[in-house]
Amino acid sequence: MAGPCTVESEKQLMTTALAVRKEGATILRGGAFKPSTSPYGFRGMGEEGLKLLAKARAEFGLAVITEVMTPADVPMVCEYADILQIGTRNMQNYMLLDEVGRVEKPVVLKRGMSATIEEWLLAAEYVLSQGNRNVILCERGIRTFEKMTRNTMDISAIPLIKRLSHLPIISDPSQGTGRRDLVIPLSLASVAAGTDGLLVVVHPNPDEALKDGAQSLTLEQFQGLMPQIQSVAHAIGRTILTG
Amino acid sequence: MAGPCTVESEKQLMTTALAVRKEGATILRGGAFKPSTSPYGFRGMGEEGLKLLAKARAEFGLAVITEVMTPADVPMVCEYADILQIGTRNMQNYMLLDEVGRVEKPVVLKRGMSATIEEWLLAAEYVLSQGNRNVILCERGIRTFEKMTRNTMDISAIPLIKRLSHLPIISDPSQGTGRRDLVIPLSLASVAAGTDGLLVVVHPNPDEALKDGAQSLTLEQFQGLMPQIQSVAHAIGRTILTG
Amino acid sequence: MAGPCTVESEKQLMTTALAVRKEGATILRGGAFKPSTSPYGFRGMGEEGLKLLAKARAEFGLAVITEVMTPADVPMVCEYADILQIGTRNMQNYMLLDEVGRVEKPVVLKRGMSATIEEWLLAAEYVLSQGNRNVILCERGIRTFEKMTRNTMDISAIPLIKRLSHLPIISDPSQGTGRRDLVIPLSLASVAAGTDGLLVVVHPNPDEALKDGAQSLTLEQFQGLMPQIQSVAHAIGRTILTG
Amino acid sequence: MAGPCTVESEKQLMTTALAVRKEGATILRGGAFKPSTSPYGFRGMGEEGLKLLAKARAEFGLAVITEVMTPADVPMVCEYADILQIGTRNMQNYMLLDEVGRVEKPVVLKRGMSATIEEWLLAAEYVLSQGNRNVILCERGIRTFEKMTRNTMDISAIPLIKRLSHLPIISDPSQGTGRRDLVIPLSLASVAAGTDGLLVVVHPNPDEALKDGAQSLTLEQFQGLMPQIQSVAHAIGRTILTG
């Protein structure tokens, strides 16, 4: 899964979609509704962004994953997206979990930034208990005292979840590190630890990104990443599905 | 502000309301919608609980504070409550913050369990920027590695908020410690550090509480607390308003 | 207990000693051997600093507390100091704990910056088990994700230690917050929570301090602190011993 | 680098040394002086343990790494060991760092359990600034709120150190996770992230280990680990040196 943090324009999205498709990504990520720590930050394009995602899907044959932030938006997001994402700040937004538990789309549930693994599995249980069995957990780093990275990726969570649960687990090294130069090594580490997928932020021009440019891979870096992933996956006896 | 964590029954609520009123509390706390880490835990009485709170208000002349968990519930909760509470798990539920920013009731905004002070002030800014100027911050402990307490009360946050903001700040030593035997010393410490108010969980029979009994003061303990608070407040040149 | 973080010169030490003595402090703190995160930072005056401390003791009738960093220095520090301090970085320096356990001077054991309360009590047990029964625990803040303060004071530790142990506990709000403007409120909070003593950094001219100026009280601030402490202590039914 | 956490007996050490040698490990780890959180725990065999390590070295041609805990022991440990280890609790024991900086043996410097990367590099600088240029950093997990693992391995530290410093970095997934079932996936993740070496605890009979049995690999597990490491190293274009 790859794509920009946030949908910014048709051109930005289509360029990225084409590039990630070419390298073998099968799912396009892109935020239309974006949580922003400050009310004065960019909060996404809303439904316009969803329409662009749907257009990219039609054009490139990619499935689309995007975040839903509140129960009332679930039906609208379901119209456009193939996979719903619950962000880290909403991992314990229980009424939202209830709501996505009642639809049939797969749900990617990001780990809360200070959630224990037990709390995370219980949050997944909210979705499961409403009938939606397609929950995918996503490790995206936890908050620690270390200041050089935005979060500390808890790579141990990957094999731990595999022992404790039947749910698939994927890894988001872009949010997990907050630094472009660490995304590739942490992607490879995640694969070596057994991750079932990667969610990577890619932007055609990271320095001009409206959000999270510092952690976005360039298209060239993404191109370099894909064969390395394949190679490490092969080394531990797994195969990566690409499109 | 005092009262049970969760409204459980008319008898439980009325007994507590009477007792806290008698000791001089002016605001009754009580949860009707309760976030529960597990979907199989008790999630509150819902609107029934709100009606009981309104009844206690009418009977004892106490103002009522209760939690609202999702934008769609804001109008209903406003009908019954005098003060809205945003819980720790929803500190960054931005659409909920937007919504309570558009009503006229005061909002108590609890600090997220791993929120920095900067993020907390920015969350308050969501409410303020929608026009609601009555935001009260509430320190309720942060998540650390220490295992003997449920959270670590960040008492420094009290004087820091006073330097950084014009908003009032109150303290919740019940959630902040998770231990009944620490509620009184941490209440007194909060007062000495300059808190503008205390939010204390009181239960007529903590051992039978459906939720958070371990951190609830008994009515007798609450009775003992009030004069001590007065005394420390007086020592630092402040006065506690009681009813 | 009050005094400069580090002994810098005869003039600096004597001015401070005179001032803290006048306000009623009974113990003079001052570092002769100082741990410094960088090897190129100021590491203290060594034995010269100890001699100045002894001189201040003789002149002003104050007891002297100072840090010892390694087993080989214990006899020399014992010659000059009345109380030995084990710093936060050495809380689990077990051979040093063994060594100070074999002398007769009281030992102030600072909490490690990420030590649990259990580990801290077990570190105290190292000293006690060698025969030295005079251990004083010192809460000095723990490491969390919050960036506005150098550490997060764990005020709950004060009443918790009182429940779990017979050892006295004191509080160091200077190291615990790293900010001069928070030292007074956190001192008062510590007293309200039941601390047995305070260890405060005072400097005649904090802006010129070689170390930790940002958290040093001026002599005037210290003068203001003392009556407030008395007042809060009195409010909770305790008396502060002053000289 | 592999071997038991602690040297317990000649038989235990020799069995392990033989097995790890056979699988291609080149350095034998084993503690003779062991930090123990409780003074009543096992603190190691002392010089007897060092002699056994030297015997294993002679017999199997393995280099020996062992911990030194206090400046006064440095000369004795140097007599027996090829590499000195500074444990996590002593990362900021500056007088010990000074002392190992004055000898010629390589020093493995473990990251403090709550040390930032900056503090860790500055601790290395203590050793380097005394003249010893052979410092090897070792990531062994940091302390977080997560309770299912003993520590949280900070895998990002591996590529970060490679960017910030010329020093080699190795990884200790045994201490880093505290769980035998996570040692293999975290070893592979470390290799994929670019680690220069692994320090793994192996015990012929982990259930009877005097210390840290829960995180020790059995000899069979270690046997399974070695070819997987080779395979992942090869996938990222590196070669593992084995004996």
Structure tokens at B65: 């504070």
Contact D188, D228 (CB under 8 A): yes
Smallest Cβ distance to D116: which of A145, A159, A188? A145
Tokens 């004069």 correspond to B227
Q: Does A36 touch chain C (CB under 8 A)?
A: no
Q: Which helix (H) or strand (E) holds D187?
A: helix D180-192
Closest residue of C to A113, CA-based? C145
Whether the pLDDT of residue A31 is over 80: the answer is: yes
Which is it for the CA torsion A106, A111, A115, A118, positive or negative?
positive
Structure tokens at D90: 């002593």
Closest residue of B to C191, CA-based? B189
Residues in A touching C147 (Cβ below 8 Å): 147
Beta-carbon separation of C163 and B155 below 8 A: no
Residues in B touching D145 (Cβ below 8 Å): 143-145
Contact C222, C20 (CB under 8 A): yes
Residues in D touching C100 (Cβ below 8 Å): none
Beta-carbon separation of C143 and A145 below 8 A: yes
Please give the Cα distance from B222 to B20 (Å, whole number): 8
Tokens 């709501």 correspond to A99
Q: How many residues are listed for chain C in this entry?
A: 243
Beta-carbon separation of B143 and D147 below 8 A: no
Closest residue of A to C152, CA-based? A145
Please report, in tens digits, the pLDDT of each residue of chain B (243 residues total). Answer: 888 889 999 999 999 999 999 998 999 999 999 898 999 988 899 999 999 999 999 999 999 999 999 999 999 999 999 999 999 999 999 999 999 999 999 999 999 999 999 999 999 999 999 999 999 999 999 999 999 999 999 999 999 999 999 999 999 999 999 999 999 999 999 999 999 999 999 998 888 888 778 889 999 999 999 999 999 999 999 887 776
The conformation of residue B83, written as its DSSP 8-state character, comes to: E
Structure tokens at B233: 């407040």
Q: Quick one: pLDDT at residue B243?
A: 61
Structure tokens at B229: 């608070």
Please give the Cα distance from B67 to B34 (Å, whole number): 7
Please give the Cα distance from B131 to B123 (Å, whole number): 14
Beta-carbon separation of A92 and B129 below 8 A: no
Residues in A touching C144 (Cβ below 8 Å): 145
Q: Which residues in chain D show pLDDT less than 50?
A: none
Structure tokens at D163: 């960017």
Whether the pLDDT of residue C243 is over 70: the answer is: no
Please give the Cα distance from A166 to A134 (Å, whole number): 11
Smallest Cβ distance to C163: which of B181, B188, B193? B181
Task: List the beta bridge partners of residue C170.
Answer: C138
Q: Quick one: pLDDT at residue B233?
A: 95
Residues in D touching C31 (Cβ below 8 Å): none
> D: neighbours with 3+ CB pairs under 8 Å?
A, B, C
Q: What's the whole-number mean pLDDT along residues C29-55?
A: 92
Q: Quick one: pLDDT at residue C174?
A: 95
Contact A103, A96 (CB under 8 A): no
Please give the Cα distance from A111 to A87 (Å, whole number): 8
> Between β-strands A83-86 and A107-110, what pairing exists: parallel, antiparallel or unpaired?
parallel
Beta-carbon separation of A181 and D159 below 8 A: yes
- What is the identity of the amino acid at A197? G
- What is the identity of the amino acid at C22? K
Angle, alpha carbons D124-D126-D128 (nearest 5°): 70
Strand order across the beta sheet in which B135-139 lies: B169-171, B135-139, B107-110, B83-86, B63-67, B27-29, B2-3, B200-201
Question: In three state form, how does the secondary structure of B17-51 look?
Answer: HHHHHHCCCCEEECECCCCCCCCCCCCCCCHHHHH
Three-state SS at A243: coil
Residue D207, by phi and psi: left (phi above 0), alpha (psi -120 to 50) or beta? Answer: alpha
In sequence order, what are the residues at sequence separation of 6 or more whose Cβ sits closer than 8 angstroms to the Cβ of residue C67?
Answer: C31, C32, C33, C34, C35, C84, C85, C86, C87
Whether the pLDDT of residue A243 is over 70: the answer is: no
Inter-chain CB pairs, A–B, below 8 Å = 69
Mutate to test the interface with A, among C143, C145, C149, C150 (most CBs of A within 10 A): C145
Q: Quick one: pLDDT at residue B201?
A: 93
User: Which residues, numbered 110 to 149 in chain D, qualify as contacts with chain A under a Cβ-Cβ cut-off of 8 Å?
Assistant: 114, 116-118, 142, 144-149
In sequence order, what are the residues at sequence separation of 6 or more whose Cβ sits closer than 8 angstroms to the Cβ of residue D133?
Answer: none
Task: List the beta bridge partners of residue D6.
Answer: D31
Q: Which of residues A71 and B214 earns the better pLDDT score?
A: A71
pLDDT digit string (tens) for C210-240? 877 888 999 999 999 999 999 999 999 988 7
Please give the Cα distance from B178 to B61 (Å, whole number): 29
Structure tokens at D46: 């002392």
Burial class (CB in 10 A: 0-12, 13-18, 19+), D119: middle
- Residues of chain A above pLDDT 70, percent: 99
Alpha helix segments (H runs only) across D24-144: 47-60, 74-80, 94-100, 117-129
Residues in A touching B93 (Cβ below 8 Å): 69-70, 89-90, 93
